[in-house]
């Protein structure tokens, strides 16, 4: 039985688990957990293991999985995080860890799958040529479309960069967003596939470009998140 009277830091246990899986987990799972390690190193360096809670997982899931979904699978993230919680429960008698994982998995799973699908649809809509990073696959037809799409930019183009929150569906192929921290409302043209998956409250970080007749388009998408991300940005 562990002596729970002394403090054990979460980051130390994360480091221990990261070393332990080098011989047992796939390279993809190891890389996923390395992202979690640097996340904990950034935000929770001095946090006690027994202060680990659902907010730590939620913050990671709503930000880091969407930002890495283009090169890593959701399953790899889920498997390594679930296993880590079981590791904490088994070795450190922190049985709440598995309950925390089961709770966050139940509430976040659908949103994460939806956001991943939206990001894949956006890569087609914005003609992103990189289809896969592992292995590296480039769609040259999308590459040509991407070049044509950006060929007419001028020094006089009006643009906006920042976080935008979806506040209204305008038609079957456009949404109204609010630029966060400024309050400005902008109408953006999309397509029906995207509209059918986006929900009110979703947030994205992007560069927008104004088109004729006061409509806007997404020039570059840097991240797309569910509404829960608002408390962390």
Per-residue pLDDT of the chain (233 residues; tens, 9 = 90+): 445 545 899 999 999 999 999 999 999 999 999 999 999 999 999 999 999 999 999 999 999 988 887 777 888 899 999 999 999 999 999 999 999 999 999 999 999 999 999 998 998 898 765 544 444 455 555 545 555 555 555 554 778 999 999 999 988 889 999 999 998 999 999 999 999 999 999 999 999 999 877 789 999 999 999 999 999 98
Distance CA 193, CA 156 (A): 31
Q: What integer pLDDT is reported at residue 191 of this predicted model?
A: 93
Distances (CA, A) of 9 to 44, 47, 81, 92: 9, 6, 17, 11
Residue 139: what pLDDT?
53
Amino acid 149: pLDDT: 56
pLDDT the model gives residue 136: 47
pLDDT in the model for residue 67: 87
- Nearest CA to 83 out of 3, 26, 9 is that of 26
The tokens for 69 are: 């979904």
Cα–Cα distance for residue pair 13/77, rounded to 1 Å = 18
Element (H, E) at 60: helix 54-68
**pLDDT for res 1:** 46
How far apart CA 162 and CA 11 sit, in angstroms, is 32
The pLDDT value given to residue 211:
81
CA distance 206 to 119: 13
* Residue 46, φ and ψ in degrees, nearest 5: -110, 15
DSSP conformation class of 229: G
pTM: 0.83
Q: What are phi and psi of 166, to 5 degrees?
A: -75, 120
CA 64 – CA 59 distance, rounded (Å): 8
User: What confidence score (pLDDT) does residue 7 get?
Assistant: 82
CA distances from 18 to 21, 34, 101, 211, 225 (A): 6, 7, 18, 48, 27
- Tell which residue, 60, 78, 107, 77, has the closest CA to residue 225: 60
**Cα–Cα distance between 202 and 226 in angstroms, integer?**
5
């Amino acid at each position: 039985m562990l002596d729970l009277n002394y403090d054990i830091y979460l980051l130390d246990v994360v480091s221990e688990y990261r070393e332990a899986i080098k011989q047992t987990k796939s390279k993809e799972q190891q890389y996923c957990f390395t992202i979690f390690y640097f996340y904990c190193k950034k935000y929770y360096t001095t946090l006690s293991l027994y202060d680990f809670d659902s907010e730590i997982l939620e913050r990671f899931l709503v930000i880091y999985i969407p930002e890495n979904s283009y090169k890593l699978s959701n399953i790899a993230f889920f498997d390594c995080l679930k296993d880590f919680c079981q590791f904490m429960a088994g070795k450190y008698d922190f049985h709440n860890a598995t309950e925390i994982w089961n709770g966050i998995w139940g509430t976040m799973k659908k949103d994460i799958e939806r956001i991943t699908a939206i990001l894949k649809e956006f890569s087609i809509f914005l003609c992103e040529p990189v289809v896969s990073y592992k292995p590296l696959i480039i769609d040259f037809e999308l590459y040509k479309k991407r070049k044509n799409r950006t060929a007419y930019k001028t020094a006089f183009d009006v643009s906006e960069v920042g976080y935008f929150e979806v506040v209204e569906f305008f038609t079957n192929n456009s949404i109204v967003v609010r630029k966060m921290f400024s309050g400005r409302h902008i109408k953006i043209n999309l397509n029906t596939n995207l509209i059918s998956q986006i929900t009110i409250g979703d947030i994205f970080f992007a560069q927008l470009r104004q088109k004729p007749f006061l409509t806007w388009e997404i020039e570059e998408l840097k991240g797309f998140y569910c509404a829960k991300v608002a408390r962390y940005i």
